[in-house]
């Protein structure tokens, strides 16, 4: 408990602990282009109208899906802060692969994707 590695838990962790309302995580329609405005996980929740905390992208494999969230270095836990946290590696959009039959979750974007109007298809700009 005394390590300097604390950051905000992922959307998945906060959701499973009951810290996020499941309605703030939207499921993207299968095989349909969709646009969502992410509300960074570190910001006050719930998100304001027109924003979502995360986007769930279904997989063809049961119990497996991708979870997309935005991260910011706006507080002592997510920016490097002496004695508190080593912070997150960078700001932007990250994608986790979730398989609820296997733990832990897998980060699929070791480097956060840039924030902006770009379109992404599982981590590749299109």
Q: What is the mean pLDDT of residues 11-26?
A: 91
Give the three-class secondary structure for 8: coil
Q: What is the mean pLDDT of residues 72-85?
A: 75
pLDDT at residue 40 is higher than 70 = yes
pLDDT at residue 84 is higher than 80 = no
Closest of 85, 16, 23, 79 to residue 53, by C-alpha: 23
End-to-end CA distance of the chain: 42
Within a domain: 120:
no
Do 39 and 77 contact (CB within 8 A), yes or no? no
Q: Which domain holds residue 30?
A: 11-114
Sign of CA dihedral 106, 109, 115, 120: negative
pLDDT level of residue 5 (50, 70, 90 thresholds): low
Q: What is the mean pLDDT of residues 39-66?
A: 90
CA distances from 124 to 13, 20, 100, 103, 120 (A): 25, 28, 24, 25, 5
- Whether pTM > 0.85 for this model: the answer is no
Within a domain: 20:
yes
pLDDT at residue 2 is higher than 50 = no
Helix or strand (DSSP H, E) at 12: helix 11-16
Within a domain: 35:
yes
Share of the chain above pLDDT 70, in %: 82
Within a domain: 95:
yes
> What is the pLDDT, as a whole number, of residue 25?
95
Within a domain: 119:
no
pLDDT level of residue 46 (50, 70, 90 thresholds): very high
> What is the pLDDT, as a whole number, of residue 6?
61
Within a domain: 5:
no
Within a domain: 71:
yes
What gap in Å lies between CA 52 and CA 75, rounded to an integer? 20
Within a domain: 56:
yes
**pLDDT tens digits, residue range 100-115?**
888 778 888 878 888 6
Structurally, the chain folds into a number of domains equal to 1
Lookup: tokens for 32: 């349909």
pLDDT at residue 117 is higher than 90 = no
């Amino acid at each position: 408990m005394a390590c300097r590695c604390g950051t905000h838990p992922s959307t998945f962790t906060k959701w499973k602990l009951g810290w996020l309302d499941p309605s703030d995580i939207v499921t993207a329609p299968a095989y349909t282009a969709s646009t969502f405005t992410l509300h960074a996980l570190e910001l006050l929740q719930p998100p304001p109208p027109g924003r979502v905390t995360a986007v769930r992208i279904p997989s063809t494999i049961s119990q497996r899906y991708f979870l997309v969230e935005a991260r910011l270095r706006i507080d002592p836990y997510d920016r490097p802060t002496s004695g508190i946290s080593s912070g997150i590696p960078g700001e932007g959009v990250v994608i986790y692969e979730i398989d609820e039959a296997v733990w832990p979750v897998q980060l699929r974007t070791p480097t956060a994707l840039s924030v902006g109007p770009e379109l992404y298809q599982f981590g590749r700009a299109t």
